[in-house]
């Protein structure tokens, strides 16, 4: 299988995200990279949130999540092109870029949630009903991801697509640190999404049901909680988050290709585990930790060492705290 995702990923990091080449870390550089790391970590955090949501409820590593992120980006691309009138059908009136962006985000989130729920319905639920082992569901998830990736490659071809510029980019400079409005948008959105999810999981009834399912799936049914509805809701939340991350990602780095989700997805999963999987806070913090490590490692060392050092640090973190930063080791009853 082609390893395009890997080169592609590297390409991004060298493409203006990092002010690399400078090996001495000045204060300006530090703040510049701080912003970059916040943005880069935001993507990891957004995807990791989706992983952790599904894991928190089903104890299932949804390996298709990275590819749902990719599907979201593609759906967003087609919807944006549709609104911009790239196809035969034209809207009778022209919309401004920002309005199109909002519409694109909303419609993409709905459609991608549909994709996520379909996968749950077709692949995961029958296995769950059969009471198959957890690992079989994980393998099914991996396979679903492969189908999405390669189905996309087969249908749309290997050529990269470029996402249209919907939001007009404006660049601000404060004290030698430059940033764009897109960067701010990404970071603020991620923080808002995190607060929103925390509120849902901690404060609402359905959030309580989600937490309850992960504790005891049998007792939950006895308490009259509709298991399937809560699980579908979780998948809707997770997939629409992935779609949001996908659109933000291609707004920041406007290249789409079928393998874009694979590498980011695996790394976001690692981030979620480092934070303590199943914990919303954990995914958020883990995503940013990974973002910071990657950006600063690439800023100080040659960027080829990035993966090596990043994963070595994560491994060290995990061996110091085996259940992740916020994870709580569940007491085992004998």
Partner 1 sequence: MKRYLPFILYGILCFVVIAGARSGLIDTYQQLIIMFIGINIILCSSLNLINGYMGEFSCGHAGFMAVGAYVTSILNVWLFTSSQIFGEPVLSPVAAVFLFPVTLIVGGIAAALAGLLVAIPSVRTRGDYLAIITLAVNYIVKSSIENIQVIGGARGFMGMGKVVDSMTGVLNLPWVMIWIFAFTAFCIWVLNHFVNSTYGKGIIAIRDDEIAAEIMSVDTNRMKIVAFTLSSGMAGVAGGLFAHVLGYINPGSFTIMKSTEIMVMVYLGGMGSLSGSVLSAVSFTLLMEILRPLQVYKWVLIPLLLIILMLFRPEGIMGNRELTDVFPKLRRFFPSKEL
HEC string of the chain?
CCCHHHHHHHHHHHHHHCCCCCCCCCHHHHHHHHHHHHHHHHHHHHHHHHHHHHHHHHCCCCCCHHHHHHHHHHHHHHHHHHHCCCCCCCCCCCCCHHHHHHHHHHHHHHHHHHHHHHHHHHHHHHHHHHCCCHHHHHHHHHHHHHHHHHHHHHHHCCCCEECCCCCCCCEEEECCEEEEHHHHHHHHHHHHHHHHHHHHHHHCHHHHHHHHHHHCHHHHHHCCCCHHHHHHHHHHHHHHHHHHHHHHHHHHCCEECCCHHHHHHHHHHHHHHHHCCCCHHHHHHHHHHHHHHHHHHHHHCCHHHHHHHHHHHHHHHHHHCCCCCCCCCCCCCC
Contact letters for partner 1, residues 28-57 (x by CB under 8 A): ---------------------------x--
53/109 with CB nearer partner 1: 53
208/318 with CB nearer partner 1: 318
How near is the Cβ of 297 to partner 1 at its closest, in Å? Answer: 11
Contact letters for partner 1, residues 205-244 (x by CB under 8 A): ----------------------------------------
How near is the Cβ of 187 to partner 1 at its closest, in Å? Answer: 26
How near is the Cβ of 311 to partner 1 at its closest, in Å? Answer: 4
Nearest CA-CA partner of 145 in 271, 260, 42? 260
How near is the Cβ of 3 to partner 1 at its closest, in Å? Answer: 5
The two tokens of residue 90 are: 């034209």
Identify whether the C-beta of residue 56 lies closer than 8 Å to the C-beta of residue 278: yes
Write out the binding residues for partner 1, residues 293-312 only, by CB under 8 A. 304-305, 307-308, 311-312
Identify whether the C-beta of residue 30 lies closer than 8 Å to the C-beta of residue 36: no
For position 1 contacting partner 1 by CB under 8 A, the verdict is yes
**Selected binder of partner 1 within 260, 277, 283, 289 (CB under 8 A):** 277
Contact letters for partner 1, residues 314-333 (x by CB under 8 A): xx--xx--xxx-------x-
Q: What angle do CA 216, 222, 227 make, to 5 degrees?
A: 65
- Please choose, out of 32-40, 172-180, 241-249, 313-321, the segment that lies near partner 1 by the rule CB under 8 A: 313-321
How near is the Cβ of 284 to partner 1 at its closest, in Å? Answer: 17
How near is the Cβ of 194 to partner 1 at its closest, in Å? Answer: 22
74/269 with CB nearer partner 1: 269
96 CB-contact burial (10 Å; exposed 0-12 / middle 13-18 / buried 19+)? exposed
49/107 with CB nearer partner 1: 49
Contact letters for partner 1, residues 112-151 (x by CB under 8 A): -----------x--xx--x-xx-xx-xxx-xxx-xx-xxx
How near is the Cβ of 9 to partner 1 at its closest, in Å? Answer: 12
**Selected binder of partner 1 within 179, 249, 269, 296 (CB under 8 A):** 269
For partner 1, the binding residues (CB under 8 A) are 1, 3, 6, 55, 61, 123, 126-127, 130, 132-133, 135-136, 138-140, 142-144, 146-147, 149-151, 153-154, 266, 269-270, 273-274, 277, 304-305, 307-308, 311-312, 314-315, 318-319, 322-324, 332, 334
């Amino acid at each position: 299988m082609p390893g395009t995702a890997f080169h592609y990923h590297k390409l991004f990091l060298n493409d203006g995200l990092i002010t690399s080449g400078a090996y001495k870390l000045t204060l300006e550089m530090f703040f510049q990279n701080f912003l970059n790391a916040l943005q880069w970590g935001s993507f990891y955090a957004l995807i990791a949130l989706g992983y952790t949501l599904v894991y928190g409820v089903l104890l299932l590593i949804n390996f298709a999540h990275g590819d749902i992120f990719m599907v979201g980006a593609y759906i967003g691309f087609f919807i944006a092109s549709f609104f911009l009138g790239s196809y035969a059908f034209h809207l009778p009136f022209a919309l401004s870029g920002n309005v199109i962006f909002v519409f694109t985000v909303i419609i993409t989130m709905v459609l991608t949630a549909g994709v996520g729920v379909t996968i749950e319905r077709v692949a995961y639920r029958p296995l769950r009903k059969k009471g198959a082992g957890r690992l079989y569901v994980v393998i099914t998830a991996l396979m679903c991801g492969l189908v999405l990736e390669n189905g996309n490659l087969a249908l749309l071809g290997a050529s990269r697509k470029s996402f249209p510029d919907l939001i007009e980019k404006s660049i601000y400079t404060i004290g030698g640190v430059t940033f764009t409005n897109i960067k701010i948008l990404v970071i603020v959105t991620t923080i808002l999404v995190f607060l929103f999810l925390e509120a849902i999981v901690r404060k609402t009834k359905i959030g309580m049901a989600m937490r309850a399912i992960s504790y005891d799936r049998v007792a939950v049914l006895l308490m009259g909680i509709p298991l399937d509805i809560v699980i579908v809701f979780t998948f809707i939340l997770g997939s629409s988050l992935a779609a949001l991350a996908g659109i933000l990602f291609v707004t920041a780095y406007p290249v789409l290709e079928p393998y874009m989700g694979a590498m980011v997805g695996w790394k976001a999963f690692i981030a979620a585990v480092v934070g303590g999987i199943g914990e919303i806070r954990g995914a958020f913090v883990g995503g940013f930790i990974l973002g910071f490590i990657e950006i600063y490692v690439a800023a100080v060392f040659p960027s080829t060492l990035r993966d090596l050092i990043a994963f070595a640090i994560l491994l060290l973190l995990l061996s110091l705290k085996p259940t992740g930063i916020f994870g709580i080791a569940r007491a085992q009853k004998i």
